Structure 1
Amino acid sequence: MTQTASRRSRTAARFLALGLSIMAGTLATGCSNEHTPSTRPTTGAPFMPPYVFNPVVQYPATADSPAPGGPRRGDCANISGTGTARTLEIVSCESGTAAYRVVQLADTPEHCIDDADNRYFHASAETRWTACLDINWNTINCDTLADDQVTAVDCKPSPGRAVVKPDSYITGGTELGLCPHKTGIPHSTRQFVVCTEELT
């Protein structure tokens, strides 16, 4: 799949703001005071293993802007390369190696839901589209998080990089203090948190 333009994702900035240091192996901890939830947050795991995914919460209400040859909402994908050389490959969600799930299709990256974990912009002479992506968390594999690169890996410690696995899901708020390990990836617009544990 040819990519002629690419917008660097906001994933790295979000992780850095949360205090995630890949080399140091630390993940955001404590409570988030950035947003006061309108409803009482609920803890637990409202998803069916092995997939830590809740379409009711994670799919934006905004209508998609699909394009010929582009992915569909619900597809899983991997991104390889960096900068303008990034490419997106659609893979089976059941493969165990899918790093992302498409939660929205937009015309440009600016039209993605603002708390999406990543964005992939494709433009060619025939078409253009943006895949708005969330990490495809599952309870079988773990993930490494580095800048805008998410990779599914085995759940075992790895020197020099943070290996993270999900352990629960919170809806209706972004309070990390409700997570079992006080760590997680909050999404302030859609009001949910994927609670995580870092393997050390």
Structure 2
Amino acid sequence: MLTFRERNWAILVGMGAIMVPITSSAACSTAAPEPQSPSSETVTPQVSFADLPGQFPQPATLTDSGSADAPVGGCVNVAGSSTRASLTVADCASPMATYRVIQRVLTPDQCVADADRPFYYRDSQAQWTACLDLNWDSTYCINLDSVVTKVACDDPAATHKLKPISVQPDTTTLDGCPHTGYPHPARHFTICTETQP
């Protein structure tokens, strides 16, 4: 089974996008990713998911191209199908803001290894890649379906909801998460989550 990061490597070329797994030759899947399971029950809660320690790798950008479309530190919405994805800037507090731009580089292989997803754009004038993390927000759940959305945690129509419950800094594992989570081993933090009914 492909991981969330592997299923969501989108390449936008002109008006189309294709999903490209980075470490597996398996076909792309639209099934919701499964968060990793923890190995202990300790949680250190944090209120804000907007300012995660170590979230932005250095250098933050390797190109000026795409600065208006994918500003580092800003938020975006990735919509559309895996073959025709689109990226739109969104207010980070908005339910439309599903991802945060953590880095902007030329090609997807230049993104920090534990970015949740890259979005590659190329046309006759420019080429750039937005390296993206899920835009966790304590007021919404993230619904990990074929298209990632932010939803109310009690939304009965959303079937793959995860609620962020804490951030564990200075770790590469899920040891501090009581339920599930998303470790970022290259940047040394983990988002602890809880699956919602």
Q: 1:22 to 1:158 in 2, by over 3 A?
A: farther
SS in 2 for 1:95: coil
Match of 1:162, as an amino acid?
A: H
SS in 2 for 1:114: coil
Provide the C-alpha distance between the structure 2 equivalents of 1:159 and 1:94, rounded to a whole number of angstroms.
Answer: 22
Deviation at 1:172, TM superposition (A): 1.1
Which residue in 2 is equivalent to 1:133? 132
Match of 1:178, as an amino acid?
A: G
Greater helix proportion: 1
May I ask how many residue pairs the two structures share in their alignment?
A: 175
Stretches of structure 1 lacking an aligned partner (at least 5 in a row): 14-20, 33-41
Provide the C-alpha distance between the structure 2 equivalents of 1:9 and 1:139, rounded to a whole number of angstroms.
Answer: 30
Which residue in 2 is equivalent to 1:8? 19
Structure with larger RCO (C-alpha < 8 A, sep 6+): 1
Please state if 1:28 is matched with 2:36: yes
Q: 1:10 to 1:184 in 2, by over 3 A?
A: farther
Would you say the 8 A contact 2:153–2:163 is kept in 1?
A: yes
Please state if 1:89 is matched with 2:69: no
Would you say the 8 A contact 1:3–1:85 is kept in 2?
A: no
Which residue in 2 is equivalent to 1:114? 113
Match of 2:170, as an amino acid?
A: G
Would you say the 8 A contact 1:70–1:129 is kept in 2?
A: no
Provide the C-alpha distance between the structure 1 equivalents of 2:54 and 2:43, rounded to a whole number of angstroms.
Answer: 14
TM-score (norm 2): 0.77
Please state if 1:189 is matched with 2:186: yes
Which residue in 2 is equivalent to 1:53? 50
Would you say the 8 A contact 2:38–2:181 is kept in 1?
A: no
Would you say the 8 A contact 2:108–2:119 is kept in 1?
A: yes
Would you say the 8 A contact 2:43–2:166 is kept in 1?
A: yes
Which residue in 2 is equivalent to 1:17? none
Match of 2:74, as an amino acid?
A: D
Which residue in 1 is equivalent to 2:101? 102
Match of 1:140, as an amino acid?
A: T
Match of 1:185, as an amino acid?
A: Y
CA RMSD of aligned residues (A): 2.8
SS in 2 for 1:174: coil
Provide the C-alpha distance between the structure 1 equivalents of 2:19 and 2:50, rounded to a whole number of angstroms.
Answer: 24
Match of 2:143, as an amino acid?
A: T
SS in 2 for 1:196: strand
Deviation at 1:94, TM superposition (A): 2.1
Provide the C-alpha distance between the structure 2 equivalents of 1:99 and 1:122, rounded to a whole number of angstroms.
Answer: 18
Q: 1:160 to 1:59 in 2, by over 3 A?
A: closer
SS in 1 for 2:164: strand
Identity %: 31
